[in-house]
Amino acid sequence: MAFSLLVWFAIWEVVGQLDLVSLLPPFSEVITAFPEVVSSGTFADAAWITLQAFLIGMGLSFAIGIGVGMLMGTSRAVGSVMGMWVNIFESSPLTAIVPALMALLGFGLETMIVTVFLFSVWVIALDTQVGVERVNPSLVEMGRSFGATKRVLYSRIVLHAALPELLAGIRLGLIRGLKGVIIGQLLIAVLGVGYLFELYSRNFLMPEFWALLIILFTFAFMASEAVAYFERKVAFYASSR
Amino acid sequence: MAASAGIRAGRTPARRVAAGVSSPWVLRGASVLFVLGLWEWAGRVPVNIAFPTCTETLAAFGEMLVDGTFAEAYAETAGPLIVGVLLTAAGGVFAGLVMGLSPRAEWLGLPVFIVLQASPSAAIVPLITFIYGIGFTAKVFAVVLLSAPVIVLNSYRGIANTPRSLLEMSNAFLASRWQRIWKVVIPAGSGLIFAGLRLGLAQGFTGAVLAELIITPTGVGDLITFYRSGADYPKMFAAILSIILVASVSVTLLQNLERRLFRPEMRAI
Amino acid sequence: MTDRASITSEPGVGAPAADGRDPAVRIVDLVKEFPGGVRALGGLTFDVPRGELTSIIGPSGCGKTTTLKIIGGLVDATSGRVDVDGVPVTGPGPDRAFVFQDFALMPWATVLRNVAFGLELRGLPREEREDIARAYVDKVGLSGFEDSYPHQLSGGMRQRVGLARALAVDADILLMDEPFASVDEQIRRQFQDDLLRLLSDENKTVIFVTHSIEEAVYVSDQVVLLTRGPSSVSKVVRPGVDRSGSSDEIRRDPAYLDWVEQIWHELRGYLER
C-alpha cells in the first residue's frame, strides 16, 4: 500500500516540472538536494541539538509519565484528581505555552527540552493509566499469593500486563514530542531544525526545504513504526488479559 | 438498591463526612487550590523574574475580561478556527468515508494521512504565507493542515471496521450496497467519527494559535506575543491561561456529548 | 410432523416424508474448502423435508455453521449442489431467514427497529412494518420491550429479538445457528418449548444447528449427524419423540433417552478417532 506514495511522488514531479505551484519544485530536484542538505555543517548542528532536546525531553516524559500513570492507575483517588489535570493539558494547545517558556528559560536547549516534555507526557500518563487499570486483578492476586513484593509485582506483572497500552502511549508520545521540538524551534527561530526551515523558506530554497521536511517526516514515521512493531509483538496477549 | 440503602443508613455521621471528603469533586477542588497556592508561592519567591504570581495573573485575567481585550482577541481567533474545523469536519469525514468504502481510495490516500499524522506538519506552517499571504485564508489553512489527519483517519477506521456479524446479518436480510452503507456501516462507525472530530477540534486550536504566533499576529496569539515583548508577564500568562481554559472546556463539552451519544454498551453487541 | 421413528442404514438418504413432498432443501456432495487449504466439508449429502424441523449436529468444528451459511447463501460452496425448492442457491433470498448465534443486533436501534429490519430493507412503509414487528415482538414474549435497546436486555431476550426478526420476514425456511447456545440451561429448555409452540402454527421448514444432543432429539423431526472435519454425513435419524406429554414427561420418556444415548455413542466414535 505504501507504493501509492510512489504515485504521489510521480504526481509531484509532474506538478513541479510544469511549475504549477511555485512552492513545489520537481521531486527530482528535491532528491538531488538531499546530499547537499545532509552534508552541510548547519544541518549537523541543527540535527544534533534537535536530537538532544528530543531524547532528553522524551526520557523525562517516559520516566514521569509512566510513573504518574501507574500511580493514577492503581489509586482511584490519584487517578481522578490527576486525571483532571492530565486531561486538561492533553487537549490544550500547548503551543501557547511555548512563548512563556521562552520568557522563563530563554532561547536555548532548556526551553526545547521542556517543550518536548510538555507535549508528550500527558498522553503517556493517560495510556499508562488505562493499561494499569485494565490489568486483570486475578493476575495481581496470583502474584501476591506467590509472595511477590510490591516492587516485583509492579515491575514484573503490572508493567508487562499493561504493555500494550503503554507502548501505544509511548508511540503517541514520540509523535507529539517531535511535534513539540519542531514547534518550539519554529517559535524560537534561532536554533535547530526549525531554524533551518526558517532559513530555507526565507531564501526560497525550496528543494532544500522539502528535502529537510522529508528527512524529518521519515524520522518521525520510522520512530513511530518502530514502537508499533513492538506493539504488534505484544498484541497477542492484549485481548486475552 | 435496598442493600446500599441499608449500608448508607448504617454509616455513622463521621463516616459519612469522611466519605464526602474523599468524593472526586472535593479532591479535585482541593488540588486546584493546592496548585494555585503553589503558584502564588513560586511567583513570590520568585522562581524566575518572568514568573508572575497567581494573584497578579488572575487580576490581569479579570482586567482583560472586563475591558474587552479577550472579547476582541477571541473574536479574531474564532473565525479561522471555526471555519477551519467545520471545513475539515465535512471534508475529512467524507474523505475517511470514501477511503473506508473504496479499496482504491484507501490505497491512494491512507499512506499520505498516516505519514501526515505521525509527522510534525507544523513545519509547513511558515510556508503557507507564500501561497495564502497572511490573511484569513492562511490561518484557516493552518487549522485544516493540523486537524485533517486525525479526523480523516478516525473516520476511516470507523467505516472500515464495521463488525463482521452486522455486515453478515444485513447481507442475510438482503440489504443493497447503499442500504448497508447507510443503515449499518455509518451508524456503526459514528462513534469513532465523532471521536475524530473531538480530537480534530483540539488540534484545530493548536493550528489557530500556531498561525497567530508564526504567520500573523492577531487574536489570542497576538496577545501572548505582544505582552511578552512588553514584558507584561501577568497579562501574558493570563492570555495563555485563557486559551487553555477555552480549549479544554470546549473539548470536554464535546467529550461529554460523545459519551452520552455513544455509550460503550451501544457499541459492541 | 411425522412421528415415524427410524434410522436409515444408508447415510445421507433421508427417509421420505410421510406425504411424499419434495424436500425443501436438497444437498448433494457439498464440499467447502477455505483459502489456506482447510477442508471443512468433505462431501455432504442429505435432504431437508418440507415443513419439518431438521437439526444438524456433530463435534465442534465439523462445519455445521458453515453448512447452514451455505444453505443461507452467505457463504459460497466450493463444489456440490445445494438446491432450495429445486433451485440452486446463489445467494441469500427472501425464502430463507437466518437467526445468528451471536444475535447480530444493531446496538443503536430499538428492539422494534431491529425486529422490523428485514422489512425495512424490503422497503415496507414504516407504519406497516412496525405493526408486523410488534406482532412478532409479542409472539416471542417481549411485549413491553419494543423501545428498549439491546444492551438493556439479557442474552436470552436478545436472542428472542433475533428470532422475531427472522420470523417477521415470513420466509419459508428458517435457519438457526446454535440459537440457544449463549443461554443457561433453565432458559434453554423453556426456549425449546417456546420454539416448538411458535412453529406449530407457522408452516415453516426449520434447519437448526446445535451441539446439544438432548436439544436435537427434543425439538427435531430429523437429525443429521456430521462426522468431524472434513465432514460428511454419518447418519440421518428420525427420533419420532412422542410430544403429547408435558415437557418433563418427554424428557423422561425412555424412547427419548434411548435416542440421546444412541446418538451420543455414534458421535463419540468420531471423537475418539
Query: ipTM of the predicted structure?
Result: 0.86
Q: What percentage of chain B reaches a pLDDT higher than 70?
A: 89
Residue B6: pLDDT over 60? no
Pick from A30, A37, A89, A92 the residue to mutate for testing the B interface (most B CBs within 10 Å): A92
**Ordered strands of the C233-238 beta sheet:** C6-7, C233-238, C222-226, C53-57, C205-209, C173-177, C96-99
- pLDDT at position A1 is 63
Residue B269: pLDDT over 60? no
Segment B24-34, tens digit of pLDDT: 788 888 889 98
Euclidean distance between CA atoms C193 and A172, whole angstroms: 55
What is the average pLDDT across C226-245?
82
Confidence band, pLDDT 50/70/90 cuts, at residue B148: very high
What is the average pLDDT across C251-261?
87
3-state SS record for chain B: CHHHHHHHHHCCHHHHHHHHHCCHHHHHHHHHHHHHHHHHHHHHCCCCCCCCCHHHHHHHHHHHHHCCHHHHHHHHHHHHHHHHHHHHHHHHHHHHHHHHHCHHHHHHHHHHHHHHHHCCHHHHHHHHHHHHCCCHHHHHHHHHHHHHHHHHHHHHHHHHCCCHHHHHHHHHCCCCHHHHHHHHHHHHHHHHHHHHHHHHHHHHHHHHHHHHHHCCCCHHHHHHHHHHHCCCHHHHHHHHHHHHHHHHHHHHHHHHHHHHHCCHHHCCC
CA C7 to chain B, closest CA, distance in angstroms equals 33
Cross-chain Cβ contact C151/B266 below 8 Å: yes
Nearest CA in chain A to B254: A91
What is the average pLDDT across C15-37?
77
Residue C13: pLDDT over 50? no
- pLDDT at position A195 is 82
CA B156 to chain C, closest CA, distance in angstroms equals 20
By C-alpha distance, which of C122, C73, C70, C68 is closest to C100? C68
Nearest CA in chain B to C103: B269
Confidence band, pLDDT 50/70/90 cuts, at residue C2: very low
Pick from C106, C115, C148, C173 the residue to mutate for testing the B interface (most B CBs within 10 Å): C106
Q: Which residue positions in chain A have pLDDT lower than 70?
A: 1, 238-241
Q: B23 at the A interface (CB within 8 A)?
A: no
- pLDDT at position B87 is 96
Question: Using an 8 Å Cβ cutoff, are A186 and A6 in contact?
Answer: no
Cross-chain Cβ contact B171/C74 below 8 Å: yes
Cβ–Cβ contacts within 10 Å for residue A22, how many?
10
Q: What percentage of chain C reaches a pLDDT higher than 90?
A: 46
Residue B10: pLDDT over 60? no
By C-alpha distance, which of B201, B219, B204, B93 is closest to B144? B204
What is the average pLDDT across B247-262?
90
Cross-chain Cβ contact B244/A89 below 8 Å: yes
Confidence band, pLDDT 50/70/90 cuts, at residue B21: low
Cross-chain Cβ contact C122/B174 below 8 Å: yes
* Cα A35–Cα B111–Cα A175 angle in degrees, nearest 5: 75
Cross-chain Cβ contact B243/A21 below 8 Å: no
Cross-chain Cβ contact C102/B173 below 8 Å: no
Residue C131: helix, strand or coil by DSSP? helix
Model confidence, pTM:
0.85
Confidence band, pLDDT 50/70/90 cuts, at residue B175: very high
The pLDDT mean for chain B works out to 87
By C-alpha distance, which of A116, A103, A101, A127 is closest to A192? A116
Nearest CA in chain A to B113: A5
Chains in contact with C, where contact requires at least 3 CB pairs less than 8 Å apart? B
- pLDDT at position C245 is 78
Are there at least 3 beta-carbon pairs closer than 8 Å between C and A?
no
CA A156 to chain B, closest CA, distance in angstroms equals 30
Cβ–Cβ contacts within 10 Å for residue B170, how many?
24
Closest partner residue to C108 among B169, B179, B187, by Cβ?
Answer: B187
Nearest CA in chain C to B177: C121
More confident residue, C262 or B88: B88
Phi, psi for A111 (deg, rounded to 5): -60, -40
Residue B134 C-alpha cell reads as 497572511
